[in-house]
Amino acid sequence: MTSDPSEGFDMVNPADAQLLDELRRAASQFDPPPPAVVEAARSSFTWRTIDAELAALVFDSGVDQPVTALRGGEGPRLMTFSSSGLDIEVEVANLGSRRQLVGQLVPPQAADIEVRHAAGTTTIQADQLGRFGADAIGSGPVSLRCRLAATPSAQPVVTEWVPL
């Protein structure tokens, strides 16, 4: 299931957009937000995943390959995310401007997985062996959110955002 983040929003008239830009510039020049408000906004951003456990990127073949390794530009990118109770291994293949993700949960288990990307969210399922796949994901930042089937009341596991 894919959702369009612009769904429900009307197109802005170009004259209105120009007026909004002028108002933003004037507000930032003549009435900027106080530094304490800016700092509070930045601090609140860290709370966006308070209800989830973060799975950190621990391996990325696009970055972690030794300099001496020969690697063609055609090969898939391999990434591993790790949290205290779950590893998420992902292989990313380029299909032109789209990406194909094939992955494995370790330890193997069923899960509902949301692939969050610029065009919205694609929901997929990992089978009992922890295998999952998603086609036609656009290039850009991507994050996975896993809710394990065996413990539906537990906190979901969320990966870092990575560019694809």
User: Is pLDDT larger for residue 8 or for residue 12?
Assistant: 12
Cβ atoms of 145 and 113 closer than 8 Å: yes
Is 20 a member of any domain?
yes
Cβ atoms of 160 and 143 closer than 8 Å: yes
Mean pLDDT (whole number) for 101-120: 95
**Residue position matching structure tokens 């969210």:** 121
Confidence band of 2 (pLDDT split at 50, 70, 90): very low
Strand segments (E) across the chain: 53-60, 77-82, 87-95, 98-106, 111-117, 120-126, 131-138, 141-148, 157-159, 162-163
Rounded CA-CA distance 112/135 in Å is 16
Residues 6+ apart with CB under 8 A from 95: 135, 136
Mean pLDDT (whole number) for 113-125: 94
Query: Is the model's pLDDT at 54 over the cut of 70?
Result: yes
Same-domain status, 87 and 153: yes
Q: What is the value of pTM for the model shown?
A: 0.66
Q: Give the count of domains, the chain.
A: 2
pLDDT for 72 equals 53
Mean pLDDT (whole number) for 47-53: 62
Q: Is the peptide bond between 107 and the residue preceding it cis, with omega within 30 degrees of 0?
A: yes
Is 7 a member of any domain?
no
pLDDT for 6 equals 44
Is 100 a member of any domain?
yes
Same-domain status, 62 and 37: no
Which domain range does residue 58 map to? Answer: 52-163
Is 114 a member of any domain?
yes
Query: Is the model's pLDDT at 83 over the cut of 90?
Result: yes
Please state, rounded to an integer, the average pLDDT across all residues of the chain.
83
Same-domain status, 61 and 118: yes
Same-domain status, 73 and 136: yes
Query: Is the model's pLDDT at 36 over the cut of 70?
Result: yes
Same-domain status, 65 and 129: yes
Query: Is the model's pLDDT at 120 over the cut of 70?
Result: yes
What's the CATH number where 143 sits?
2.60.40
User: Is pLDDT larger for residue 68 or for residue 97?
Assistant: 97
